[in-house]
Chain A
């Protein structure tokens, strides 16, 4: 049995976990991937430490390697993981299982898929406790109830008998946390545990973790790609890139004085985008006018229809970049689909370039389609996987312009150059899977501008991209707006994205616009309660 964890050693030792030069490689049929390639991390008692990095940096895999939860084909090649001065990598399976869930436990990203859908909540938590501690079955219920209330859940006695799908995302994550702390571990590893949550719920969960750590002196290792989260919660930070820890430091110094080139790049990308000049037209032309827009959805198994868009009104000027901010469920994507004519309106009027959209769709469909385009959130999904980039980009041009084959090809080349995909001849022949996420999104933008539209809607166009790519894409969009004077509607759940792109911003909540106005006014002196809540929940990196 694992004796070292009991007894006096605990009190004397402040250093909880020490990862020394960890290397973990994954053998795939395409070769060996050096997923973790030299990681050094220290965690002390009661500390909250963060690992930050973009996708592919190896941060998640590092955390899982600590407890040898290796993926298919994964193998630890070298290094040590010292937990209370004992190397975890040298333990046998039995000893490892004793530590898992009891001394070191995990919280994962998406609680709805990480909880077993056919087992009751109480059962899943009890399982953990009974596995590691000798507790009388009669006592179990009380312990679970107390741990559920510790994580801030009301009616824990009812929740015990619930199944995961009966709870909201935030509640499910609290259950996961409850499961993690149920055996009073020394260390909790939280892997992107708030990424799938709403901004406001995210804040609540982070605060919960902060309190738990303070109260019980549990250390937390927080894995995330979000620098703002790290600065909010962690006392120390490690930056990972290509499987290595390249920089570390105290949170407060770290953000003001980054050392490594990559860290600097990361921070710059997260911070504000260049405050370049907006296009402003002296004659203000209204290009889009929305009056009392309503859209309901009929939910299966419910009598009340869901009011996705509820009495919405706003207008858009030519050349303007208009932002719509809101959390998931606010109705912002529905608005986009309504504007595009992909969904039918229940009631209300949408006037686009002096004509109602209904009229357009009936009589001038082609003209309508030419003038309004969209860029979507999922870059890979936006492109037909079986067609080359060239074919995809030619599609809209063929429909709206009468040009010869060669002329079309040249136009496509022009477009590729405009979105900075050079040399265009090469990209013309490629298939989507051969391009990176950022490149795919550039193609999507190229497609959007190919019809020379008057309005481009960007629906979370950068949400799926890495931080460093994000700013490049936003810069590209800004450039297009300035050069071609195309109006834009930018939809995002992240106010920091909208911060320097938009002239005006509307805040949406539960289908309504709760506040709308010039960017400075909204962000500087918000009036509505929800706006205030949204702004404060949007974590910022300190200057």
Chain B
């Protein structure tokens, strides 16, 4: 276990975490209009009442003190209370997290498998027809606005053919379908929509990685030993080529979550993305910032874990 690398990476993400927290704090401060007016309205109010609210919200302290309070709160899990829903932000987020986690997981698996399979396939004969077609497909896929793809899929499969549900995560009435099937049919289109962009990028990456691996010197050594092309491809090149895919997918997590917001909107998927949109419409600042922090920190931590995982996989880093 390469503890040095572990320590170094940990030290690196601390400023990122802090940066995100400070950034969100600043954004709240910069919001035009006083937060207090949310409570007392535009019409003037009793100055004493105003002062009371300021104190309750901690707005009477200096900016720096507010920042420290804020940081303390966040790090202990207190993200404040929603303006609109009258519950703690943490609880709201916790309740709505699962659908997003399900959607992200299935999309990542779909995209990764799809991308790796086609990427490897394209690399078996570089610059040939199969390769060019695959790369054009990838190009098309990541040029598509994903929300439009979602809409078109709904129109074709749900509206016109009626074989898949239009929106939501579950049907109101199960009818003759099993619980699992119902969930799966609802999950299908969102997964394909969200996963296809990732698939396109992974496809290109894997292909490039394979071609680079195949051009390495050790491939010539393998050939000189008399190994068959197939063995060289799958034993020598593939292992080298697929290693960085793990990290690559980690890099795309932020973008995927970005896409998830939009997809949840298109499909009415009741996850954190939809929650964010509602919060934005209602100007529910604690919830907005809470979501921002939770999502960003989640990505940070997951990327960190993936990095550590990678050091375990790559012998060059695992053993120094």
The CA of A300 and the CA of B5, in the complex, are separated in Å by: 9
CB-contacts of B181-235 with A (<8 A) = 216-218, 220-228, 235
Question: Which of A93-101, A247-255, A312-320, A493-501 forms part of the interface with chain B?
Answer: A93-101
Interface flag for B72 (CB, 8 Å): no
Q: Is the CB of A97 within 8 A of B227?
A: yes
* Residues in A neighbouring B236, C-beta threshold 8 A: 116, 119
The CA of A101 and the CA of B224, in the complex, are separated in Å by: 6
Interface string of B221-253 (1 = CB under 8 A from A): 111111110000001100110010000000000
Interface flag for A105 (CB, 8 Å): yes
If the complex has contacts A117-B240, A163-B315, are A108 and B217 also in contact, measured as CB distance less than 8 A?
yes
* Residues in A neighbouring B4, C-beta threshold 8 A: 300-301
CB-contacts of A98-149 with B (<8 A) = 98-102, 105-106, 108, 110, 113-119, 127-128, 131-132
Dominant SS at the B interface? Answer: helix
* Residues in A neighbouring B319, C-beta threshold 8 A: 163, 166
* Residues in B neighbouring A114, C-beta threshold 8 A: 217-218, 220-221
* Residues in A neighbouring B222, C-beta threshold 8 A: 116
Interface flag for A214 (CB, 8 Å): no
**Contacting residue for B218 out of A101, A113, A301, CB 8 A:** A113
* Residues in A neighbouring B314, C-beta threshold 8 A: 118
**Contacting residue for A98 out of B5, B217, B226, B315, CB 8 A:** B226
Interface string of B244-273 (1 = CB under 8 A from A): 000000000000000000000000000000
* Residues in A neighbouring B5, C-beta threshold 8 A: 301
If the complex has contacts A118-B239, A301-B4, are A132 and B221 also in contact, measured as CB distance less than 8 A?
no
If the complex has contacts A108-B220, A166-B319, are A118 and B240 also in contact, measured as CB distance less than 8 A?
yes
* Residues in B neighbouring A118, C-beta threshold 8 A: 239-240, 243, 314-316
Interface flag for B320 (CB, 8 Å): yes
The CA of A67 and the CA of B220, in the complex, are separated in Å by: 12
Q: How far is the CB of B215 from chain A (nearest CB, A)?
A: 10
The CA of A79 and the CA of B243, in the complex, are separated in Å by: 43
Q: Is the CB of A132 within 8 A of B226?
A: yes
CB-contacts of A403-447 with B (<8 A) = none
* Residues in A neighbouring B239, C-beta threshold 8 A: 118-119
* Residues in A neighbouring B240, C-beta threshold 8 A: 116-118
* Residues in B neighbouring A67, C-beta threshold 8 A: 224
Interface flag for A265 (CB, 8 Å): no
The interface centre, meaning the residue of B4, B218, B315, B316 with most chain A CB atoms within 10 A of its CB, is: B218
The CA of A114 and the CA of B225, in the complex, are separated in Å by: 12
**Contacting residue for A108 out of B221, B228, B235, CB 8 A:** B221
The CA of A108 and the CA of B216, in the complex, are separated in Å by: 13
* Residues in B neighbouring A260, C-beta threshold 8 A: none
Q: How far is the CB of B307 from chain A (nearest CB, A)?
A: 16
If the complex has contacts A108-B217, A163-B315, are A301 and B320 also in contact, measured as CB distance less than 8 A?
yes
**Contacting residue for B226 out of A97, A119, A300, CB 8 A:** A97
* Residues in B neighbouring A98, C-beta threshold 8 A: 226
* Residues in A neighbouring B228, C-beta threshold 8 A: 97
Q: Which residue of A lies closest to B223 (CB)?
A: A69
Q: Is the CB of A106 within 8 A of B221?
A: yes
Q: Is the CB of A69 within 8 A of B227?
A: no
Interface flag for A165 (CB, 8 Å): yes
Q: Is the CB of B316 within 8 A of A165?
A: yes
Q: Which residue of A lies closest to B314 (CB)?
A: A118
The CA of A117 and the CA of B320, in the complex, are separated in Å by: 13
Q: How far is the CB of A73 from chain B (nearest CB, A)?
A: 12
Interface flag for A88 (CB, 8 Å): no
CB-contacts of A196-212 with B (<8 A) = none
Interface string of B91-134 (1 = CB under 8 A from A): 00000000000000000000000000000000000000000000
**Contacting residue for B225 out of A101, A117, A165, CB 8 A:** A101
Q: How far is the CB of B320 from chain A (nearest CB, A)?
A: 6
Please give 9 more A-B residue pairs, beta carbons under 8 A apart, in addition to A106-B224, A108-B221, A119-B235: A98-B226, A101-B226, A114-B218, A115-B218, A118-B239, A118-B314, A131-B226, A300-B4, A301-B4
9 closest A-B pairs by beta carbon, nearest first, are: A100-B226, A101-B225, A97-B226, A106-B224, A113-B217, A101-B226, A116-B218, A114-B217, A163-B315
